Structure 1
Amino acid sequence: MSIAERRVTPRELVEAGFAVDAESFLRVYREVVDDGAARGTRVLTVVASGGLTLRVLLDRGMDIGQAWFDGYPVSWQTAVGEVAPGFVNGGQGWLDGWSGGLVTTCGLRNIGSPSEGEGQHGSFTDLPAQNVSITRRWLDDGQLAVDIEGMLFDASSLRGRLVVRRRITLATSSGELEISDRVTNESAIAEQTPILYHVNLGAPFLSADSVIAWRGWNDTERDGVSGTTDMGRPQLVDDRIVELSRDQGAGESGAVVTSPALGLIAEVLWDTDALPRLHTWQRWVPGSFAMSIEPANASLRGRAYDRAEGRAPMLAPGETRRTGVTVRLRKQRGCDITLKSSGSPAERKSHESSTSSWR
């Protein structure tokens, strides 16, 4: 079969002379926003052929802003929109500068409620990236991957320095986004270092017909069982926050959210040894239909509470901790989760998972 008679990889097309260069299949545009609340901020817009399109917010902790897959928006954006750092001013001011996006990182001094002078969810997402590099590489299957790497520094003149080395990876013909972090304590004393990955899904991916399947976790406030549950039709639910409990002996861990309306599936995966706690947040009010999946290493009650409980995540001087999250989007297959029509809240039931979507 000739190269013109079958689906070929980017590498084959480049080597056969059909494409000028590899960048034709995986573009990374460096931008500086010149208008509005985000004016002056650095952004990388990444466009992967047959895969994801997303914005890497270099001056907002290298977090992931808006994201699209198969031509559809999958992330949730708040009414604030994309903004520059500096809107966060302690207390609950984090909300004034939160634009949403696919992944917002919280920490490194606090997550959840303000505590001991540290604001809600900390200041991670206000940290500017330094030494940013962009590296493309061929994969064994002929697809093209890109690694975006940078450093973030959480420090002040009166406390120790925490250094984050972040790597963001995605590839052509793939809906997978991988964020890998190495956090090092460069101070002379042990530091409390909570971290949380706020993965935010919104319309049109998220709708009244969406289904979420927990793997290895129990939403005890809901029904006390793990498995597959329909999201239900939008109700006036403002800030429903739940910490899920880990299934004893569970091998799998993660969440699968299905969008029957678009025929798409999102999987959120992480290492439970590094991130042993899981929170979820839902907000269903007019103009704000969102859900967040939030793997973390601490509670949402603040740093003082975690220390009192004896569960505060600590880093010794010179110690490095590795954490991260993977978001995998793909098209739905016939054997994946399907949703039965949902009615009123009283009529909604949790459905045991029979999906084969988990890989």
Structure 2
Amino acid sequence: MTDQKTLMAVCGHMDQIAGVRQMEFQDGRAAGLRCAMIHNGPLELPLMLDKCLDPAWIRYKGINLSLLTKPGLQGRNPYDTAGDEAVRSIMGGAMFTCGLGNVHGNRVVDGVEYPVHGRMRTTPAEKISMDAFWENGEYKILVSGEMREAQIFGENLVLRRTIETTYGSREIVFTDEIENQGFEDQPLCFLYHCNAGYPFLVPGLRVVMPSIFCGPRDADAKAGAAAWNVMEEPVEHAPEQVFQHELAADRNGNTFAAFVNDELQIGLCIRFEKSVIPYLTQWKSTAAGDFAMALEPTNCGFDGRAGKTQSLKPFEKHENRIRFQILDGKDEIKQLEDECREVLECTM
């Protein structure tokens, strides 16, 4: 039932079934964290206004799909970008945005120290807009805002983000426009850290994506390379494994990576355009208590800023579009697997 007149005959106010509202957490390290809480029927996600409009979680029909690490839900902290202490602010979430100056761990490059996964993930949004309205027979939900990474006598990078979905939809679209508003070329690093967690992430969860190259980061990853696409049982003190993938694309240049839980018959597919986001990093941790997996569309290799890096000319813009799609049922999962085979065949 999506016709406005028919629907509103039984639903006096659309907030009953879909919409967006600003809310604020009140206690613990999350105290003061403001969110734009979106619910569209099947999906619920709070966009953190104080942390790059990233989604703290995604729940589908009440089932949590996302990771919440041991530090837990939290807003901005004095240690967010403080060297090795910054790992205490990695809460996971459904996605956190790494960049824009760097995406790697805390390290010094050319005499300058860069924080864990960059500064953008803890940058608060400005010029925030929220709306929900009927248009062409659809009830649309939109949130937008702007984040800035800048310093005097340094970079001036602006990220404008729009998030959109519709009532009854199983899709969420993030559109990012990144602009260099400075007068010098600037390195551009970005990585979308998309995280799966329990009860969606369980032993046996599979990754489905058209990978044509999988490179392990180190010896620990090399030891687990044969099982990169399957989540194993948790093991105490197991080392994390990180892989760099190159994905095949379809005839329109689009590609994807998906988590699939066969027991729940649910998949979470992340779609993007390969020409603007050429790689995908995979993070896998089977450590007991740190049980996690992430699929991370990126324009960087393992070395991030320290390696070969994309750059933006003064006032040049770059646009990314990340589409989250929920798959429900065996038929939709099979369609995704068929799509994966077809995309791989296009490269042969």
**TM superposition score normalised by structure 2:** 0.86
Report the Cα distance in structure 2 between the residues aligned to 1:79 and 1:332, rounded to whole angstroms: 31
Is 216-225 or 253-262 further displaced after alignment? 216-225
Name the counterpart of 1:122: 118
Report the Cα distance in structure 2 between the residues aligned to 1:31 and 1:182, rounded to whole angstroms: 26
Unaligned runs of 5+ in 2: 217-221, 344-348
Mapping 1:341-356, distance limit 5 Å = 355=338
Query: Quick check: 1:161 aligned with 2:153?
Result: no
Report the Cα distance in structure 1 between the residues aligned to 2:299 and 2:207, rounded to whole angstroms: 22
Question: Alpha-carbon deviation of 1:58?
Answer: 0.5
* Contact 1:199–1:292 (CA under 8 A) maintained in structure 2: yes
Report the Cα distance in structure 1 between the residues aligned to 2:40 and 2:150, rounded to whole angstroms: 35
- CA 1:10/1:243 → structure 2, altered by over 3 Å: closer, same or farther? same
Name the counterpart of 1:36: 28
Q: Choose from 265, 268, 271 the match for 1:269.
A: 271
Name the counterpart of 1:13: 6
Matched position secondary structure for 1:203: coil
Matched position secondary structure for 2:21: strand
Unaligned runs of 5+ in 1: 1-7, 339-352
Name the counterpart of 1:26: 18
- CA 1:91/1:10 → structure 2, altered by over 3 Å: closer, same or farther? farther
Question: Alpha-carbon deviation of 1:13?
Answer: 2.9
Q: Choose from 295, 301, 304 the match for 2:303.
A: 301
Matched position secondary structure for 1:96: helix
Name the counterpart of 2:327: 330
Aligned residues: CA RMSD: 2.9
Report the Cα distance in structure 2 between the residues aligned to 1:326 and 1:265, rounded to whole angstroms: 13
* Contact 2:235–2:288 (CA under 8 A) maintained in structure 1: no
Name the counterpart of 1:347: none
Report the Cα distance in structure 2 between the residues aligned to 1:335 and 1:162, rounded to whole angstroms: 39
- CA 1:218/1:83 → structure 2, altered by over 3 Å: closer, same or farther? same
Once the two structures are superposed, residues 21-44 of structure 1 have per-residue CA deviations (whole angstroms, 9 ceiling, x without a partner) of 333331322112221102122112
Query: Quick check: 1:60 aligned with 2:56?
Result: no
Report the Cα distance in structure 2 between the residues aligned to 1:19 and 1:246, rounded to whole angstroms: 44
Query: Quick check: 1:81 aligned with 2:72?
Result: yes
Name the counterpart of 1:313: 310
**TM superposition score normalised by structure 1:** 0.83
Question: Alpha-carbon deviation of 1:330?
Answer: 2.6
Name the counterpart of 2:219: none
Report the Cα distance in structure 2 between the residues aligned to 1:225 and 1:240, rounded to whole angstroms: 9
Matched position secondary structure for 1:219: strand
Report the Cα distance in structure 1 between the residues aligned to 2:286 and 2:293, rounded to whole angstroms: 8
Report the Cα distance in structure 2 between the residues aligned to 1:218 and 1:53, rounded to whole angstroms: 34
* Contact 2:194–2:296 (CA under 8 A) maintained in structure 1: yes
Question: Alpha-carbon deviation of 1:193?
Answer: 1.4
* Contact 2:249–2:274 (CA under 8 A) maintained in structure 1: no
Q: Choose from 79, 102, 114 the match for 1:110.
A: 102
Report the Cα distance in structure 2 between the residues aligned to 1:262 and 1:150, rounded to whole angstroms: 35
- CA 1:92/1:274 → structure 2, altered by over 3 Å: closer, same or farther? farther
- CA 1:21/1:247 → structure 2, altered by over 3 Å: closer, same or farther? closer
Question: Alpha-carbon deviation of 1:89?
Answer: 2.8
Name the amino acid aligned to 1:281: W
Report the Cα distance in structure 2 between the residues aligned to 1:171 and 1:104, rounded to whole angstroms: 22
* Contact 2:129–2:143 (CA under 8 A) maintained in structure 1: yes
* Contact 2:96–2:121 (CA under 8 A) maintained in structure 1: yes
Question: Alpha-carbon deviation of 1:174?
Answer: 1.7
* Contact 1:258–1:337 (CA under 8 A) maintained in structure 2: no
More helix by share: 2
Residue identity (%) = 22
Report the Cα distance in structure 2 between the residues aligned to 1:318 and 1:127, rounded to whole angstroms: 21
* Contact 1:42–1:57 (CA under 8 A) maintained in structure 2: yes
* Contact 2:248–2:255 (CA under 8 A) maintained in structure 1: no
Name the counterpart of 1:45: 37
Report the Cα distance in structure 2 between the residues aligned to 1:138 and 1:171, rounded to whole angstroms: 9
Name the counterpart of 2:288: 286
Report the Cα distance in structure 2 between the residues aligned to 1:252 and 1:217, rounded to whole angstroms: 14
Report the Cα distance in structure 2 between the residues aligned to 1:80 and 1:286, rounded to whole angstroms: 15
Is 191-200 or 111-120 further displaced after alignment? 111-120
Question: Alpha-carbon deviation of 1:184?
Answer: 0.7
Name the counterpart of 2:210: 215
* Contact 2:20–2:131 (CA under 8 A) maintained in structure 1: no
Matched position secondary structure for 1:164: strand
Matched position secondary structure for 1:314: strand
Question: Alpha-carbon deviation of 1:84?
Answer: 1.7
Name the amino acid aligned to 1:156: Q
Question: Alpha-carbon deviation of 1:177?
Answer: 1.4
Once the two structures are superposed, residues 178-212 of structure 1 have per-residue CA deviations (whole angstroms, 9 ceiling, x without a partner) of 11100111111111110110000011011112111
Q: Choose from 125, 139, 143 the match for 1:148.
A: 143
- CA 1:227/1:300 → structure 2, altered by over 3 Å: closer, same or farther? closer
